[in-house]
């Protein structure tokens, strides 16, 4: 199938649901609102496209800060020339200032707002689509995408914050915009409902337009929810449906599991990717530039990016692989050299001047700070690892080994020797770390398994004991409050708290 990119059209700002009595509601013919915009299938396609749009900024700028660098996988390489500690370093240092469940950290605020932008746009589609007559299968597919995207946004929110407002219909004004915090269980219930509804309406991968979510994507989201809830049997059923569908498989080479800037997108291993496109249209990303160690000269950056116009950068260094993660790869693991590269920075204040960087997202491209590779959200490898986990927790470690070893075989590793349930549990946990490294999975794996204090406590002690090993210049140390906030959830954003009486 020829790959098509989802063209994102911006709807009128703040589309609002209209008055219930349409007979009394008169809109100027030149004014665009929800009362007169949605008249055709094409209009809803544009609205669904706009519902995907916030994920581009989210995965380019914030998700990796809160969900990957807030773990023992990557760290923030301190540039002491910048002086004061910034909000991103606070996240990496587990030192986000929080009081009464509220934080002013801007990474938290932006991630929260982008998720609710998705939810608001999805609510608009879900509320209005049944009122317009067009092909029933197309309508179910479009509505299913909106239901999935709303569920996915709430799943991110509930795992980050625990309790958040549950908006299910478009807000009509200031009075009904603030909502009380829903319980974690209520949010889980809504995610489950939306995901089930999405499964029923969405096309499968064989017929869905490339880049859009599918019935398989929705099954994996629901299975992910069940894994989080420890409903192992429910998860097993869904995951086996994905495996037996024949729609997905591992790419033979781990390197090919990830897209290039203009090719290999939405491949047979992909269940969901955030779509980017290099160029001047505004659909590009620049994640690798956020991850490259700095200060770096044009000559040093050129082999990493492959651009014709390499330029030096001098910035804080984000998402740098930790020694802990590097040591987690077994000898002979092909994924290590695909995932992690090294660069020597002549201008670095670190004594050996050599840093690791995230190589698997360093794809050649044409223009400085303008990349087009997609971001992997759900891959078939995770289906296999989730299925192994569900089977093991259901008391079937031998069955679990079958799926775990499919992932290990591609990596060039021997079959796992784990046989007991406890050993298999640890083997799967470790395999997820290296297979899914830098894909924003690690923090949620720590929280859902209840291992934050155990693992991050030990990791923080190592950083404090040997700052030089974690990319601090000679004489520089982590701030005194580093690794003091080891909570499973972030505080809610202070700016939003000022706008609502509910938190």
| pLDDT tens for each residue of 304-340 | 999 999 999 888 889 999 999 999 999 999 999 999 9
- Interatomic CA distance for residues 144 and 158, integer angstroms: 21
Tell me what pLDDT residue 167 has: 97
Tell me what pLDDT residue 317 has: 87
Tell me what pLDDT residue 86 has: 85
For the packed helices 215-229 and 232-244, what is the interaxial angle rounded to 10 degrees?
160
Residue 78: burial class (beta carbons within 10 Å; 0-12, 13-18, 19+): buried
Tell me what pLDDT residue 6 has: 44
- Interatomic CA distance for residues 503 and 498, integer angstroms: 8
Tell me what pLDDT residue 176 has: 86
> Burial code of 336-362, b = ≥16 C-beta within 10 A, e = fewer?
bebbbbebebeebbbeeeebbbbbbbb
Which residue matches tokens 């004991």? Answer: 465
* Structure tokens given for 466: 């040997």
All domains of the chain in start order, with CATH:
22-71+90-279+489-497 (1.25.40.390), 294-371 (no CATH), 451-487 (no CATH)
Q: What is the pTM of this model?
A: 0.93
Residue 58: beta bridge partners? Answer: none
**Distance (Å) of CA 166 to CA 367, 403, 478:** 41, 36, 38
| DSSP code at position 330 | P
Mean pLDDT by 10 residues, the chain (503 residues): 38 36 44 76 97 98 98 88 79 96 97 98 98 98 98 98 98 89 98 98 98 98 98 98 98 98 97 97 96 94 95 90 98 98 94 96 96 98 99 98 98 98 98 98 98 98 97 91 97 95 93
Tell me what pLDDT residue 35 has: 67
């Amino acid at each position: 199938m020829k790959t098509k990119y989802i063209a994102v059209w911006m709807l009128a700002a703040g589309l609002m649901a209209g008055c219930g009595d349409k007979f009394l509601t008169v809109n100027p013919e030149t004014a665009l609102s929800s009362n007169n915009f949605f008249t055709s299938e094409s209009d809803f396609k544009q609205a669904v496209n706009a519902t995907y749009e916030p994920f581009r900024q989210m995965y380019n700028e914030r998700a990796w800060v809160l969900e990957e660098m807030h773990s023992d996988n990557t760290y923030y390489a301190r540039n002491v020339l910048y002086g004061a500690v910034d909000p991103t370093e606070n996240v990496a240092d587990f030192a986000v200032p929080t009081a009464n469940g509220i934080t002013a950290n801007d990474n938290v605020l932006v991630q929260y707002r982008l998720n609710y932008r998705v939810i608001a746009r999805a609510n608009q589609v879900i509320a209005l689509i049944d009122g317009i007559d067009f092909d029933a299968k197309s309508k179910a597919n479009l509505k299913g995408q909106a239901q999935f995207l709303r569920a996915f946004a709430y799943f991110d929110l509930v795992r980050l914050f625990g309790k958040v407002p549950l908006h299910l219909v478009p807000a009509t004004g200031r009075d009904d915009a603030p909502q009380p915090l829903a319980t974690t269980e209520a949010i889980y219930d809504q995610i489950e409902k939306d995901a089930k509804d999405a499964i029923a309406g969405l096309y499968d991968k064989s017929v869905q337009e490339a880049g859009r979510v599918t019935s398989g994507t929705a099954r994996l989201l629901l299975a992910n929810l069940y894994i989080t809830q420890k409903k192992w049997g429910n998860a097993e059923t869904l995951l086996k449906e994905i495996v037996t569908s024949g729609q997905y498989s591992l790419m033979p080479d781990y390197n090919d599991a990830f897209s290039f800037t203009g090719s290999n997108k939405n491949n047979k291993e992909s269940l969901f990717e955030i779509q980017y496109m290099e160029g001047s249209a505004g659909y590009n990303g620049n994640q690798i530039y956020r991850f490259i160690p700095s200060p770096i000269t044009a000559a040093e950056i050129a082999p990493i990016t492959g651009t014709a116009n390499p330029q030096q950068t001098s910035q804080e260094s984000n998402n740098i692989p930790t020694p802990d993660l590097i040591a987690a790869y077994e000898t002979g693991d092909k994924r290590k050299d695909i995932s992690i590269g090294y660069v020597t920075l002549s201008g670095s204040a670190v004594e050996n001047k050599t840093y690791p960087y995230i190589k698997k997202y360093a794809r050649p491209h044409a223009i400085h700070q303008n990349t087009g590779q997609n971001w992997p959200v759900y891959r078939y490898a995770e289906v296999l690892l989730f299925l192994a986990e569900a089977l093991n927790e259901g008391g079937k470690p031998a069955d679990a080994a079958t799926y775990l070893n499919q992932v290990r075989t591609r990596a060039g590793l021997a079959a796992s020797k784990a046989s007991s349930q406890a050993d298999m549990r640890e083997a799967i946990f470790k395999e997820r770390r290296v297979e899914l490294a830098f894909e924003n999975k690690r923090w949620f794996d720590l929280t859902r398994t209840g291992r934050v204090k155990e693992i991050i406590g030990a990791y923080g002690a190592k950083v404090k004991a040997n700052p030089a090993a974690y990319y601090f210049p000679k004489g520089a140390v982590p701030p005194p409050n580093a690794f003091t906030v080891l909570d499973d959830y972030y505080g809610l954003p202070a700016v939003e708290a000022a706008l609502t009486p509910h938190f």
